[in-house]
Amino acid sequence: MSADLRLVPPLVAPDGDSLSAIAPLLPIRKWARADRPRERLLDTGPASLSDAELFALFLRTGLPGATAVDVARQLLLRFGSLRGVLDASAAELRELRGIGPARAATLIAVSELCRRALAEKARDRELLNAPGAVEDYLRLLIGTRPYEVFISLYLDARHQLLHVEESARGSLTRVAVYPREIVRRALTLNAAGLIVAHNHPSGGVEPSANDRRLTKTLQDALTLIDVRLLDHIVVAANEVFSFARHGWL
């Protein structure tokens, strides 16, 4: 039996992908065309592939006794979700057998391309009327970070995106934000509006009393320079809380 045959049972991926009964015993190149991820993507489109199979196309090859799909399944199991993999650092990715510098770099590049694509989508529209685009972007950007991050989105008079900036970074439970620095940056960019956001690594999106005080302080400071605070969004892995939507601004 050759070294690249699958010698172990397939792992169960979080997305529940499955292959034919024969496929687990063979290297991918010997699978039926309908089972091979690359061919199925070209024949029926990317929506027909599981998360593990899509990741396998970037990994390209597997390991002795495991295919690229197996390695991709292990990635998803290790990091818990698609977004978890995309948010992992190079060091974290390389802890997994089969992920070396080249593969880690590829996965990080994919993650960054996703973020930039969502940022482009946000820039192309009036953000005040497109909360979904903002929230999708923020969930991917900071939703699974293991530490708190405070993000500022500076907008022009048409409420289109001028600039995104990480204004502060903290620990698991708190981050120090300095409103005067955000005000100074708004003046430099000639911004007319601002959306701010931060994440809750511990889960849950209910704003704390400190979150509400900071929002009020920032709103008052921005009013002095005629910049409107349009929203403060609290982000977790799978949900968000909007101050504006709840009538708190």
- Report residue 139's pLDDT band, with 50, 70 and 90 as the boundaries: confident
Looking at the fold, whether 104 and 171 belong to one and the same domain comes out as: no
Looking at the fold, whether 131 and 108 belong to one and the same domain comes out as: no
Looking at the fold, whether 236 and 162 belong to one and the same domain comes out as: yes
pLDDT tens for each residue of 212-242: 999 999 999 999 999 999 999 999 878 899 9
pLDDT at 41 over 90: yes
Residue 17 lies in a domain: no
Closest of 235, 122, 169 to residue 243, by C-alpha: 235
Find the mean pLDDT for residues 56-85.
Answer: 89
What CATH number is given to the structural domain containing 184? 3.40.140.10
Residue 7 lies in a domain: no
pLDDT at 117 over 90: no
Residue 170 lies in a domain: yes
Looking at the fold, whether 133 and 94 belong to one and the same domain comes out as: no
- Report residue 103's pLDDT band, with 50, 70 and 90 as the boundaries: very high
Looking at the fold, whether 180 and 203 belong to one and the same domain comes out as: yes
Chosen domain end from 113, 145, 173: 113
Looking at the fold, whether 91 and 196 belong to one and the same domain comes out as: no
More confident residue, 55 or 120: 55
Looking at the fold, whether 167 and 213 belong to one and the same domain comes out as: yes
Residue 226 lies in a domain: yes
Residue 248 lies in a domain: no
What are 213's two structure tokens? 């005080």
More confident residue, 232 or 9: 232
Q: What is the pTM of this model?
A: 0.63
pLDDT number for residue 125:
58
Residue 215 lies in a domain: yes
Looking at the fold, whether 47 and 100 belong to one and the same domain comes out as: yes
Query: 67: exposed, middle or buried (C-beta count within 10 Å: 0-12, 13-18, 19+)?
Result: buried
**How would DSSP label each residue in 54-71?**
HHHHHH---BTTB-HHHH
Looking at the fold, whether 82 and 163 belong to one and the same domain comes out as: no
Chosen domain end from 88, 113, 138: 113
- The region of weakest confidence among 21-25, 42-46, 147-151, 241-245 is 21-25
Looking at the fold, whether 142 and 237 belong to one and the same domain comes out as: yes
Find the mean pLDDT for residues 176-191.
Answer: 93
Residue 6 lies in a domain: no
pLDDT tens for each residue of 27-36: 888 888 888 9
Query: 75: exposed, middle or buried (C-beta count within 10 Å: 0-12, 13-18, 19+)?
Result: buried
pLDDT number for residue 65:
83
Chosen domain end from 79, 113, 147: 113
Residue 35 structural domain: 23-113
Number of structural domains the chain divides into: 2
Q: What percent of the chain has pLDDT over 90?
A: 49
pLDDT number for residue 1:
36
Residue 249 lies in a domain: no
First vs last Cα of the chain: how many Å apart?
67
